[in-house]
């Protein structure tokens, strides 16, 4: 089976490659997926059986608020063009990646099942990104319904892992948190500073776990849209304290900047469909995942110092 992975040079692409080593992995330096001509050329030159569309314009809450147009335009263009030309070239299987921020902000019960996707608007802080991803869900469902192809999507919770250089400064909370802990330890500071008040609840998943789910989904020939998230759902403050322990930095104080937004207060999703499809799946505990990430990042920083260069993560 010939597989194309877009976004193949980013965090998820690099975690997926050892699991699907025969796939073709492309990044933004290879093709501009916002360009009609480039995407048309990509699919006219090659024939694929399966497309895993990881490429996306993603980033932190603060960056989403400051750059709303880029988050909408870039994602809508990439998703639309990849799906359109994949189908026109004869691709029968396409897996898109969404985000749990697409779910309604105002719901009556948690965790949120897949069926609630369109039952209300997303949180205002991520509106443009959320609607770009919701539109992708509508697009994939439409292709599946009208043309009988296996065009589906997975909706993961927030992720953390080793990010590419181009993504630094726009990372999700756990990555940013670990970076702050590393810098505080290196500088001898006695605290870290976090946005908001620490009360929002979040599910965070270690990137290698999501890579495993994607690989299994493809290899097993699954064809259902489903959430992908661990059972752990912790407050931002609890996550921060877990991270301090995992990074051997329990001595650091946490100072919250309540002038900065909390974002969505809660958005935990149901993983019942996922567990039914992959009952053997075991997620990495947050403390263990953060400890692994901390080790990978500190090792990379040490290598950078020894080589006389910057971080190589």
Whether 305 has a pLDDT exceeding 60, the answer reads no
End-to-end CA separation in angstroms for the chain = 30
Give the pLDDT confidence of 65-99 residue by residue, as tens digits.
888 999 999 999 999 999 999 999 999 999 999 99
Q: Are 98 and 54 in contact (CB under 8 A)?
A: no
Helix (H) or strand (E) holding 194: strand 191-195
CATH number of the domain located at residue range(s) 3-303 in this protein? 3.40.50.720
The reported pLDDT for the residue numbered 186 is 95
Q: 297: which strand partners?
A: none
Number of C-alpha atoms within 13 angstroms, CB side, residue 183?
A: 9
Residue 301: per-residue pLDDT: 78
Confidence band, pLDDT 50/70/90 cuts, at residue 249: very high
Beta bridge partners of 269: 112
Instruction: Let me know how many helices (H) and strands (E) the chain has, helices first.
Output: 10, 12
Average pLDDT over residues 143-160: 98
Tens of pLDDT, residues 229-246? 999 999 999 999 999 999
Mean pLDDT of 211-229: 98
What's the chain's average pLDDT?
A: 93
State the sign of the Cα–Cα–Cα–Cα dihedral 277, 281, 287, 292. negative
What are the sequence ranges of the domains in the chain? 3-303
**pLDDT above 60 (res 312):** no
- Cβ count within 10 A of residue 307: 9
Q: Are 55 and 4 in contact (CB under 8 A)?
A: no
Chain CA centroid to CA 115, Å: 21
Residue whose structure tokens are 């948190």: 177
Measured distance CA(175)–CA(180) in Å, rounded: 9
pLDDT digits over 162-180, tens only? 986 655 555 679 999 999 9
Which residues are paired to 96 by β-bridges? Answer: 53, 153
What are phi and psi for residue 219, nearest 5 degrees? -65, -30
């Amino acid at each position: 089976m010939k597989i194309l992975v877009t976004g193949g040079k980013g965090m998820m692409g690099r975690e997926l490659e050892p699991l699907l080593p025969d796939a073709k992995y492309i990044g933004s330096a290879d093709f501009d997926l916002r360009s009609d001509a480039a995407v048309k050329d990509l699919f006219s030159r090659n024939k694929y059986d399966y497309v895993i569309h990881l490429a996306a314009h993603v980033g932190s809450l603060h960056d989403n608020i400051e750059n709303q147009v880029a988050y909408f335009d870039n994602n809508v263009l990439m998703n639309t063009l990849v799906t359109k030309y994949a189908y026109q070239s004869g691709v029968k299987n396409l897996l898109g990646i969404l985000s749990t921020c697409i779910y309604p902000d105002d719901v009556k019960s948690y965790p949120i099942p897949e069926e609630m996707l369109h039952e209300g608007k997303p949180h205002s802080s991520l509106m443009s990104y959320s609607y770009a991803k919701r539109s992708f869900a509508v697009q994939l469902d439409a292709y599946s319904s009208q043309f009988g192809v296996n065009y589906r999507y997975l909706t993961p919770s927030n992720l953390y892992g080793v990010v590419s250089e181009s993504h630094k400064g726009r990372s999700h909370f756990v990555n940013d948190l670990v970076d702050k802990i590393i810098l505080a330890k290196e500088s001898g500071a006695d605290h870290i500073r976090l946005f908001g008040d620490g009360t929002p609840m979040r599910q965070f998943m270690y990137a290698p776990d999501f890579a495993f789910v994607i690989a299994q989904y493809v290899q097993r020939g699954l064809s259902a849209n489903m959430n992908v998230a661990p059972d752990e759902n912790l407050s931002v403050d609890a996550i921060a304290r877990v991270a301090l322990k995992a990074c051997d930095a329990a001595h650091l104080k946490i100072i919250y900047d309540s002038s900065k937004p909390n974002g969505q207060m809660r958005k935990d999703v149901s993983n019942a469909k996922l567990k039914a499809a992959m009952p053997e799946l075991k997620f990495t505990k947050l403390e263990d995942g953060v400890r692994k990430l901390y080790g990978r990042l500190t090792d990379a920083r040490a290598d950078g110092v020894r080589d006389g260069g910057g971080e190589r993560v």
